[in-house]
Amino acid sequence: MHRVHYPRLGHFDTQAAEKLQSLVWSNHGIDLYPGLPSITEYSDTLERFDCVPLHSEQLGAAVTAIVGRLQLDDDEQQLVDDGKKTRLQVVQARMSEELTTVAAWIGLPLPFVPVHTRAERSLFSRFMTSSDEPDYDEMALRWCGSVDARDILPKLPNHLRTYYNVWARNKRARDASERAKKGVDALKALNETTKALVAACLGELADAPVAATANQQLRPAPEQARAPSMIPQVVGGVVVGPQAAVLAQVAGDDERKGKGRSEDKQQRKSRHCKRCGRPSKGAAETCHGGTTRPDLLEKNGIDPSCQWLHPDGTSKK
């Protein structure tokens, strides 16, 4: 990526480019790469760009005091007494390497992490004595008194504020479940009673096979399967039953044939011969098959290709 006022050097070694520019400047007083920043010209400052501390001084002092009052195990105390490890090293050994690194970045013995373990969720519920939203700054200071560097770690006020929404939603769900518990228990008891009555009735029926056989004999015999009726049945203006497909096919055939003659009463035009153009009524016997084709006429004067002739050459009456 090319930056404005920055030389196009391609792939290069930054340190080699800086040494070359420094050499040219010392010999000739010429800036070889104008606009090229040099890392050797920067100085260290107190600014931090990796993990910026967000805690207050009061909360930082409370976290620092945790190491001095934290109860150590027998093995941990033995390491401290033997001088093999300091108390801070023993406490930080309870945490992972990532948490120890974060603590070193913010300058405290223990890091701040969000609420995530079961012990921390239980501790948060104990601190919430009322349904009102607490003072998170004061709650973060009180939280430090329960830190053990294993399951419970220090919290920022923002961590507690974020988890409050999750805790409030879960509390509403628990309250709704407790309110419905009485009705659910009553329904379960009713189901158990009904199940017992049904089992008792089934047991009585199983103990009386004679009565069951008599009831089966008194039942009417099932009717034999009858052939489907061929009479069309109309439901809601629609034909149903086995005849529906047949009627649909017949209706389709009628539509393909057309609706027939219209309602007018006028006489239709008579048919004409396709060859001579004369009308068929009274002219079939004298049709010569056209006046322009005398060579097609036979000795009787009739064209055999005329549509008004029989196959044997006689005219149709």
Dist. CA 42–CA 219, nearest whole Å: 105
Residue with tokens 């005329």: 306
72 lies in some domain? yes
Same domain, 82 and 4: no
Task: Output the CA torsion sign for 45, 46, 50, 52.
Answer: negative
Q: Show which of 130, 146, 179 is a domain's final residue.
A: 179
Domain range for 96 is: 57-179
284-298 pLDDT, tens per residue?
566 655 544 444 444
Dist. CA 167–CA 128, nearest whole Å: 10
94 lies in some domain? yes
Dist. CA 186–CA 294, nearest whole Å: 112
DSSP category for residue 226: P
Q: Which residues pair with 315 in a beta bridge?
A: 309
What pLDDT is attached to residue 11? 60
Domain count across the chain:
3
pTM: 0.46
Same domain, 26 and 85: no
Q: Which two tokens stand for residue 175?
A: 């309250």
The total of other beta-carbon atoms located within 10 Å of residue 287's CB is 23
290 lies in some domain? yes
Dist. CA 186–CA 23, nearest whole Å: 92
Same domain, 154 and 69: yes
The greatest distance separating any two alpha carbons of the chain, rounded to the nearest whole angstrom, comes to 148
Same domain, 107 and 32: no
154-193 pLDDT, tens per residue?
999 999 999 999 998 988 898 898 889 888 888 888 888 8
What SS3 state is found at 309?
Answer: strand
What pLDDT is attached to residue 242? 66
228 lies in some domain? no
Same domain, 62 and 38: no
Query: Quick check: 4 pLDDT over 90?
Result: no
Task: Output the CA torsion sign for 100, 104, 110, 116.
Answer: negative
Q: Show which of 146, 179, 212 is a domain's final residue.
A: 179
Same domain, 83 and 172: yes
Assess contact for 32 and 25: CB atoms under 8 A.
yes
Dist. CA 20–CA 33, nearest whole Å: 9
Same domain, 97 and 163: yes
118-132 pLDDT, tens per residue?
999 999 999 887 667
Least confident of 59-63, 173-177, 260-264: 260-264
Strands (E), 76-172: none
216 lies in some domain? no
Least confident of 17-26, 200-209, 288-297: 288-297
What pLDDT is attached to residue 113? 92
Assess contact for 86 and 126: CB atoms under 8 A.
no
